[in-house]
Each structure stands twice: as C-alpha cells, then as structure tokens.
C-alpha cells in the first residue's frame, strides 16, 4: 500500500475524499484547455485530450499559463463538473487560488512524487486533518 504525505490548503480541514485518479505528467493550462461545460480536457495533443475530470481526483504537475485559469476551476464547480480534489507536484498561484475560491481540496508538496506514485484509475483516499494530509492508494 502506498501512502503519500503532504500539504493542503488551510481552508480544507478534517475531510476524507475518495475517488479515482486521472493523472498526467504534463502541466495543465486551464483557460481554454479544460471545458467547464463538459468537465473534459480539450487541449489538442494533450495526453488527457477528451478525458473527463469531473468527479475524479485530478493529478498533474502544476498549472501553467493564464492568470484567468482560476475562473475555470470556479466555473467547473458552478457547472457541476469539478474534480473531487486536485493533487499537484508543485503549487502554483493559479491552481491554489482557483481551488480555494471553488472549494476544491488541493494537495501539494508531497513526500513522494504523485506523478510517478499514482496511476490513472487508482482508487485514492485523501485524509485531510489539521496540519497533515495523507493520500492512500487503495487499489
């Protein structure tokens, strides 16, 4: 059983989130590359092109690109197409602010690299307690 430990947004406390992972080794540009109406990655040529992130635990290295990206996360939530949680290798201001404003749990700065430790389809249990966050790969 693999367990990863890391940080989470301070606004998210005492939660357990369980769901299937969608993992990419490529950074994500949210604006224009993730469709809030469908909850799918629409970036042509991206390894997750046409993959739905709705109700998944979305694992990607970090967000890149436009400062308007946080609004994509807010609109995903508003449209009912948001991921259950986001896991990043590195934190970036766009993903942090977007997850914070949309109320999407964000985990980052893990002791193991989430991109190589988690695979698409893995069942994850994220336990967020004050000061500690653990991700358990349960399947």
Provide the whole-model pTM: 0.94
**pLDDT beyond 90 at 31:** no
Give the residue from 112, 114, 108 showing the smallest Cα distance to 128.
108
The domain that holds 61 is classified in CATH as 3.50.30.10
Catalytic positions, written as ranges: 66
Q: State which of 26-35, 66-75, 79-88 shows the largest mean pLDDT.
A: 79-88
- Give the total number of structural domains in the chain: 1
The whole domain housing 114 covers: 2-137
The more confident residue out of 75 and 1 is 75
Instruction: Lowest mean pLDDT of 66-70, 89-93, 106-110, 133-137, name the range.
Output: 66-70
pLDDT bin (cut points 50, 70, 90) of residue 131 is low
């Amino acid at each position: 059983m693999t367990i990863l430990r890391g940080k989470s947004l301070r606004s998210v406390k005492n939660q357990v989130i369980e769901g299937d992972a969608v993992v990419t080794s490529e950074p994500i540009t949210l604006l224009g590359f993730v469709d809030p109406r469908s909850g799918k990655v629409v970036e042509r040529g991206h390894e997750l092109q046409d993959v739905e992130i709705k109700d998944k635990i979305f694992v990607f290295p970090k967000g890149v690109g436009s400062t308007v990206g946080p609004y994509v996360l807010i609109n995903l939530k508003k449209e009912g197409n948001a991921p259950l949680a986001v896991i990043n290798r590195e934190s970036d201001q766009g993903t942090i602010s977007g997850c914070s404003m949309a109320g999407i749990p964000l985990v980052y700065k893990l002791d193991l690299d989430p991109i190589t430790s988690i695979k698409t389809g893995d069942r994850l249990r994220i336990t967020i307690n004050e000061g500690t966050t653990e991700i358990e790969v349960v399947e």
